[in-house]
Amino acid sequence: MSAALYNQIQIKDGRVVQANFPDYPVLKMAETPVIETHLVPSVAEPSGVGEIAVPPIAPAVAHAVAQLMGKSVRQLPMV
């Protein structure tokens, strides 16, 4: 959600404005939605899933904003 709402690299006078993480806005815990975890029983060997849930977040947030505002979001960050 941070990528959809806040994240951007800004360039000023040919240099990146954000020096490191303190200058790079990310979603705070108080701003995040409730996250539910569901464990699914399985006999399969454990394996990683990586960040499979990350790619659809920005489009989902953009769609919700568009439904609320009646106008499509065409760029990120949205804020």
Question: Each residue of 15-74: pLDDT tens digit?
Answer: 988 888 777 788 888 988 888 888 889 998 988 777 777 788 889 889 999 999 999 988
On whether residue 10 sits in a domain, the answer given is: yes
Number of folded domains in the chain?
1
Q: Does 18 fall in a domain?
A: yes
User: Structural domain of residue 29, as residue ranges?
Assistant: 1-33+54-72
Is 60 among the domain residues? yes
Residue 1 lies inside a defined structural domain of this protein: yes
H or E stretch covering 61: helix 57-69
Alpha carbon distance 7, 11 (integer Å): 13
pTM: 0.55
Grouping H, G, I as helix, E, B as strand and the rest as coil, residue 66 is helix
38 within domain boundaries: no
Q: Which position has the higher pLDDT, 77 or 66?
A: 66
